[in-house]
Amino acid sequence: MSAPTLEKTSEPDDLAAALDTFLAERSRLIGLAGRVTGALGAEDVVQEAWLRWQRVDRRKINNAAAFLTTTTTNLAINVIQSAQHRREVPTEARMADLFDPSADPTEQAEQTAAVGELLELLTARLPRAELAAYLLRKGFDYPYADIARLLRTSPANARQLVSRAQNRLAADRGGVVTDDHHRSLTAAFLTAARTGDVRGLERLLSTGLRSSQTWSERLEPGPACSAATGNVRSSTT
């Protein structure tokens, strides 16, 4: 990435301070963007975050690092969505690599938030079988034969599920995701990413599959919450 360019929208001293703040966070932001976007231009994402940091009213920002983290994460997710629209889904990075178990607690919290955002997008748009195939393939680089065995289908059909998921992500505007279902999937995904033990995620993804169901429709109501009464969140592009 080229050196950040100062825009003449604030006092020089204020912009110099903004640049110092940004440069102190830059390496971390590039790492965060890279974990989300893979090979799709992490440095471009961070450059855009810098431009937004210049233009925002920084007097209203209490935590610069948090602002830059949130901005970078959202921009990176936009890159993923745009890439899916152009059929340029990244292949060099796994979704599981979004989470780095060796990171400090603050960075792990940021990574958890990024994973949650991506999973919310996927769960709002994908039928269950496609979600399972897509997460196992893109998240943990499962061979199609292993996905087929888990989902009780053929390798060719497993490949088709992943392909259809990518097409649906490009076309759909999103639906609603219940908080309980979103939390369950995020927790299982993060456990698999942290420990390498994917058995819990496999069980969650493979229980009672019907390919026409979305994640919000897929669990029987529990004693504490049901899809009809639980909190829901919307997910749109």
First to last CA, the chain: 27
Q: Which of 75, 66, 89 is nearest to 44 (CA)?
A: 75
Helix or strand run (H / E) with residue 4: none
Which amino acid does the sequence have at 71? T
pLDDT score at 53: 94
Prediction pTM value: 0.58
pLDDT score at 232: 34
CB 233 within 8 A of CB 177: yes
pLDDT score at 29: 87
Cα separation, 97 vs 193, whole angstroms: 7
pLDDT score at 19: 92
pLDDT score at 11: 56
Mean pLDDT by runs of 10 across the 237 residues of the chain is 51 80 90 72 90 91 83 78 51 60 74 78 84 88 93 95 81 60 86 89 77 46 31 38
> Which domains, and CATH codes, for the chain?
1-93 (1.10.1740), 103-237 (no CATH)
